[in-house]
Amino acid sequence: MKELKGKELLLVGFTLFSMFFGAGNLIFPPFTGAQAGTATWIAFAGLAVSAVGFPILGVVAVARSGGLDKLAGRVSTRFAAVFTFLIYLSIGPCLAIPRTASTSFEMAVTPFLGESAPAGMLQLIYSVLFFAAALALALQPERLTDRLGKVLCPILIALIVVLFVGCLVKPVGGYTVPTGNYTGNQAVRGFLDGYQTMDTIAALNFGIIIALNIKARGVEQEKSVVRGTIRAGWIAGAMLLVIYAMLAHIGAMAGGAFPGAANGAEILTKMVPAVFGTWGSAILAAVFVIACFNTCVGLISCCSEYFCGLFPRISYRWWAVFFAVVSMAVSNAGLNMILKVSVPVLNAIYPVAIVLILLSFCQKWLEGLRYVYPMAILFTGVSSVLSALRGASLLPSGVAELLVKAPLASMGLGWVIPAVLGAAIGILLSLVLGGRRTRLG
């Protein structure tokens, strides 16, 4: 019985890291550092929980449960179908895949354009080339370890290390007082901003492609594939933590030199050339293109695998083409528009994903208590959707004011108490009604 270990395990871990580390991963840690200033590492602790801890726990939870459909099926079959569908649309053509192209264009092309350049036309041309190349790799998902893990991931890591070392050797700016959203509750703010990497919901789906790559390396038994997936997850998590710390420090230094930046992309655009001169823009462009390209390939692959299984009459190849074309069209809306839309959607979905993952680690105590998952997810979902609608100013003022007064709502964690309450009610209902059942996954 072959087990994944040594160099092969490291390569699969690199592949998973490459799939995780895309647009949001480059944008948000520097922005956190720039705003948090002297409280950067307090904020970073919160960011690490939601942007590293939960994604890796998500990989483990899905691997141990036998797939996202079985994990979500502990709530109900209908919920599993709807939730999984929404997750794939979010990490697919609606948000995450288009963001890879729009972000890399903003970072790799826009800085080199003159004021009279036809930016719209150039972005269209760039997106066509970007998605054509990503599609070419995604058409063979079982070979991503050879292409992402062996080649692109080491190059990406080396370039980020160069940026970090440059900022240490030639420091520009310095840590300043916290500003913006980070003037208080920095750890909580960092936790909430970690949502924007989208990695927790992506983690629920990446297992499909990682399992394919593990099997392609001769690992056949399902238990060995699961163990290999979990170990690769821990490797990817450790790499994410280190790289995020480097980017947070760069952002914190930039906060003193270039205050008032609108996002992490702007911070890096100003900071890196200040350290490296004219070469800085080229290095940064390469970092963004490679990171976003890796993630784009991984997302197209896992979305295509899922929908091919859901609608087998359409081949994997055609699903990949479909997602590449649709994502290309959406990406031309621009980075700011995509980020504006992503915030309320992620605020609604993320808490549900977090609670589902946490419940999976309590499974041995919840075994057979049939109402725990449904009630916990119901209460969490209602709370997070209402909070997202309030954040988007889509609720009547009276309702919005009432929601703000809920426990922890002012900190952006209004879903926590409903989740705990729902789980408690689920336990009581199960005990009172005798609702024990066999394990679903």
CB within 8 Å of 22: residues ≥ 6 apart: 96, 99, 100, 103, 291, 292, 294, 295, 296
Residue-level pLDDT at 199? 86
Per-domain residue ranges of the chain: 6-332, 336-440
CB atoms under 10 Å from CB of 393, counted, come to: 9
The C-alpha torsion from 94 through 327 and 189 to 390, rounded to 10°, is -30
Whether the per-residue pLDDT at 338 is higher than 70: the answer is: no
Whether the per-residue pLDDT at 311 is higher than 50: the answer is: yes
What is the C-alpha separation between 349 and 79, in angstroms, rounded?
13
Minimum mean pLDDT range among 27-36, 114-123, 302-311, 430-439: 430-439
Whether the per-residue pLDDT at 142 is higher than 90: the answer is: no
What is the C-alpha separation between 10 and 245, in angstroms, rounded?
21
Residue-level pLDDT at 374? 95
What is the C-alpha separation between 63 and 51, in angstroms, rounded?
19
Whether the per-residue pLDDT at 208 is higher than 80: the answer is: no
Q: What is the pLDDT of residues 223-248, one digit of tens each?
A: 888 889 899 999 999 999 999 999 99
Tokens, residue 208: 């499909």
- Exposed, middle or buried: residue 349 (CB in 10 Å: 0-12, 13-18, 19+)? buried
Residue 334 binned pLDDT confidence (cut-offs 50, 70, 90) = low
CATH superfamily of 6-332: Amino acid/polyamine transporter I (1.20.1740.10)
Q: What average pLDDT score do residues 22-38 get?
A: 89
Whether the per-residue pLDDT at 440 is higher than 70: the answer is: no
What mean pLDDT, rounded, does the chain reach? 87
DSSP annotation of 361 reads: T
Helix H or strand E encompassing 282? helix 278-310
Q: What is the pLDDT of residues 349-406, one digit of tens each?
A: 889 999 999 999 998 888 878 899 999 999 999 998 888 888 777 778 777 788 888 8
Q: What is the pLDDT of residues 48-105, one digit of tens each?
A: 999 999 999 999 888 888 888 889 999 999 999 888 888 888 778 877 888 888 888 8
Whether the per-residue pLDDT at 267 is higher than 80: the answer is: yes
Q: What is the pLDDT of residues 152-196, one digit of tens each?
A: 889 999 999 999 999 999 988 889 999 988 998 899 999 988 877
Tokens, residue 57: 């726990």
* CB 38 within 8 Å of CB 175: yes
Residue-level pLDDT at 390? 82
Residue 148 binned pLDDT confidence (cut-offs 50, 70, 90) = confident
Residue-level pLDDT at 433? 84
What is the C-alpha separation between 98 and 92, in angstroms, rounded?
8
Better-scored residue on pLDDT, 322 or 389: 322
What is the C-alpha separation between 94 and 390, in angstroms, rounded?
21
Whether the per-residue pLDDT at 136 is higher than 90: the answer is: yes
Residue-level pLDDT at 438? 38
Percent of the chain whose predicted confidence (pLDDT) is above 70 = 96
* CB 215 within 8 Å of CB 225: yes
Percent of the chain whose predicted confidence (pLDDT) is above 90 = 42
